[in-house]
Amino acid sequence: MRFNSLLAAENLSIFDPVSPPGESIRSLAFFVFAVTGVIFLIVEGILLYSVYRFRHGAPKQGSEPPQVYGSKPIEIAWTAVPALIVFVLILIIARTIWEVRVDPHNPPKDSKPLRVTVIGHQWWWEYVYESYDGKKLGFKTANELHIPAGNLKIDSERRPVYLTLQSADVCHSFWVPRLAGKMDLIPGRTNELWFETGKTGLYLGQCAEFCGAQHAKMLLRVYVDTPDVFDKWVKNQQQKAVDDPAVVKGKKAFLARSCVNCHRVYGTGAEGTYAPDLTHLMSRDTLASGIITNTREHLRQWIADPQKDKPGCLMPAFGLSESELDLVVDYLATLR
Ligand code: CUA
């Protein structure tokens, strides 16, 4: 299968976080493991000791061991100790929730917040870039989220990312384990999620709420770029689509088809908002929400029959002839 290699070797571990919320969640996990681990060892230890110590049965055949009734100290101990443990866990969890909670209205002073609205669709992610460092952005992209790396030690160099999460259809869940905890995208409700990181790289994730037949193929890719690379990327995304005279026939073929009812190519007649924005399609590494690498060959196969890779997805096969397919792919391949 073409898409296996995209996820197989990647690091999706919550134990290897690169952002403060991820670190809080890891600390909590370690703490809970430690507490429950100690309890486990004590209980199993007593059990094994008893099995070994009394392996020959009671000292006298037929007799019972001493029976103890109503020991106040023991009853107080086994009520108070678990209650105390639960109370400590509650306090630690409350502190973690406090640490990872969102306050989008109060970004760190002098920082450069990035604000993006994420809309979950069956089965892809829409990203509406709202603003960065107080300046309006106003462009859309799909499936591959780009964010700038910051310097977490200097407030004016921090670049916290505030996501506003919404859904166009059913419940989804945004989860990039190394950046933050899961947050659901719920129809008719707006949720928020926050993270920031100083480490550039690609961080993968996955829709974490069952949302229909292709839930498993609703992958997430977050690219953390250096601020310069991010600025360049933003500049490019804000541009209208490339209008390459060499593919005029292909553009015509594309615009004549019903592709334009769902897809948008900024600067052309294609104004659909129902499906991923294709204005800068070739600036993305993958197709179909991260399941296929974005090569000309794969793009052609995807357009020829999307149902083969993602059965049930909303994009139908349009029955294009081989030559029409070539023309449309020629055109799309210029949308950098
Ligand atoms: Cu979207 Cu699962």
From first to last of its 336 residues, the chain has per-residue pLDDT tens of 344 455 555 788 899 999 999 999 999 999 999 999 999 999 999 999 999 988 877 666 667 777 878 889 989 998 999 999 999 999 999 999 988 887 777 888 889 999 999 999 999 999 999 999 999 999 999 999 999 999 999 999 999 999 999 999 999 999 999 999 999 999 999 999 999 999 999 999 999 999 999 999 999 999 999 999 999 999 999 998 888 888 889 898 889 888 889 999 998 888 888 999 999 999 999 999 989 999 999 999 999 999 998 998 999 888 889 999 999 999 999 998
Q: Does the beta carbon of 217 lie inside 6 Å of ligand 1?
A: no
Q: Which atom of ligand 1 is nearest to the CA of 210?
A: 2
What is the widest separation between alpha-carbon atoms in the chain?
100
Residue 10 has which token pair? 């990647």
Torsion of CA 208, 296, 279, 234, to 10 degrees: 70
Q: What are phi and psi of 98, to 5 degrees?
A: -60, -40
> 183 with 100: CB under 8 angstroms?
no
Distances 53 to 38, 61, 110, 256 between C-alpha atoms, Å: 22, 16, 66, 84
Torsion of CA 114, 115, 118, 124, to 10 degrees: -30
CB atoms within 10 A of CB 161: 24
Q: Which atom of ligand 1 is nearest to the CA of 208?
A: 2
Q: Does the beta carbon of 207 lie inside 6 Å of ligand 1?
A: yes
> 309 with 297: CB under 8 angstroms?
no
Q: Which atom of ligand 1 is nearest to the CA of 123?
A: 1
165 C-alpha to ligand 1 centroid (Å): 13
Q: H or E segment at 163?
A: strand 161-167
> 197 with 18: CB under 8 angstroms?
yes
Q: Which residues contact 186 (CB under 8 A, 6 or more apart)?
A: 167, 171
CB atoms within 10 A of CB 232: 12
186 C-alpha to ligand 1 centroid (Å): 11
Q: Does the beta carbon of 120 lie inside 6 Å of ligand 1?
A: yes
174 C-alpha to ligand 1 centroid (Å): 8
Q: Does the beta carbon of 163 lie inside 6 Å of ligand 1?
A: no
Q: Does the beta carbon of 165 lie inside 6 Å of ligand 1?
A: no
For every residue of 299-310, DSSP letters joined together read HHHHHH-HHHHS
CB atoms within 10 A of CB 55: 7
Q: Which atom of ligand 1 is nearest to the CA of 171?
A: 1
2 C-alpha to ligand 1 centroid (Å): 21
Q: Does the beta carbon of 218 lie inside 6 Å of ligand 1?
A: yes
For every residue of 117-142, DSSP letters joined together read EEEEETTEEEEEEEEETTEEEEEEEE
pLDDT at 173: 97
Q: Does the beta carbon of 172 lie inside 6 Å of ligand 1?
A: yes
Residue 221 has which token pair? 């890719």
pLDDT at 1: 39
